[in-house]
Amino acid sequence: MRASSPTRTRPGNISSLPESDEEDEDSSWIAQHPSALKMFEEIAESSKGKRIVMFLDYDGTLSPIVEDPDRAYMTEEMRDAVKGVARYFPTAIVTGRCQDKVRRFVKLSGLYYAGSHGMDIKGPSKKTKDNKNNNKGVLFQAANEFLPMIDQVSKSLVEKMKDVVGASVENNKFCVSVHYRCVDQKDWGVVAEHVTSILSEYPKLRLTQGRKVIEIRPTIKWDKGKALEFLLESLGFADSNNVLPIYIGDDRTDEDAFKVLREKGQGFGIVVSKVPKETSATYSLQEPSEVGEFLRRLVEWKQMSLGGR
Ligand SMILES: O=P(O)(O)OC[C@H]1O[C@H](O[C@H]2O[C@H](CO)[C@@H](O)[C@H](O)[C@H]2O)[C@H](O)[C@@H](O)[C@@H]1O
């Protein structure tokens, strides 16, 4: 499972190789995926005459990675930055988390939320006369028939992981996450074995991997890339040249969205990573604080272009 964490393309394990090799490698990666902050003017320039649509992953992008998934809070500064962006551009949170949970973390109305890797998409909620949020914003649920199965598999995993110190299971409604960040590395194999043995009874479910997490999800052809396409279409931008989608994410599952943008030749993927890794993103940012800075600059630039409003 070592490879399931963000990977760094390292030379072979020969200890005498000079450190500078690594620096060369880093600098060639950064040349291929330059900082979105350094390239801000170019990005802003290419959006002229186009409508920016912003797609934001949550964990590792808006909130720093922490040990306890239930405490992955975003800062108030980040919340303000996202709120600012959403004031000017349609904005979606696209996450592996279940939609309700990420909504509780982000705490902003007026956004699109695509939870469970895009299998559960809801538009901005509207308040009814009695001031309750209505449900009309539901746009899409890709895998309803899998709900009982996901529930069942989640319960079996909870049971099975009881004997692995540090492992935890998170039910994300249309998918399940098995976390091993806090598991001693010598027991990672046990986690993998438990997951594989349970999954062998569910041929309609598959595994993907994220940052120290194994994700179990339906075999349907749906991912964050499909969610991005779906949202662009819902916003009226299918086959439009007047749109500039920007997707910011840190994880392997975000690569599906980066690939869609690359294949469409439209917009940009921005990967959040401190280390070189294989990616289809165009630009990079090092960490969530830089994501916040990028979002704030976008807002300032938009306000300037509107004459200070
Ligand atoms: O698509 P994302 O929003 O990036 O969600 C992917 C997974 O993110 C969360 O796990 C990750 O963040 C946790 C909190 O920082 C960290 O403890 C864990 O090791 C990371 O993998 C979330 O808890 C998972 O359910 C998501 O699938």
Average pLDDT, the chain: 89
**Model ipTM value:** 0.98
Ligand 1 centroid to Cα of residue 98, in Å, is 11
User: What tens digit of pLDDT does each residue of 1-31 get?
Assistant: 543 433 333 222 223 333 333 445 578 999 9
Catalytic residue among 21, 24, 26, 57: 57
* Nearest-angstrom CA–CA distance, 180 and 153: 17
| Residue nearest (by alpha carbon) to ligand 1 atom 27 | 96
Domain ranges in the chain with CATH number 3.30.70.1020 = 145-218
Architecture of the domain whose range is 145-218: 2-Layer Sandwich (3.30)
Ligand 1 centroid to Cα of residue 241, in Å, is 33
To the query of whether residue 57 is one of the catalytic residues in this protein, the response is yes
Residue 250 pLDDT more than 60?
yes
Domain ranges in the chain with CATH number 3.40.50.1000 = 50-142+222-305
Q: Positive or negative, the Cα torsion across 136, 103, 155, 227?
A: positive
The answer regarding whether domain 50-142+222-305 maps to CATH 3.30.70.260 reads no
User: What tens digit of pLDDT does each residue of 95-148 get?
Assistant: 999 999 999 999 999 999 999 999 999 998 665 555 455 545 668 887 899 999
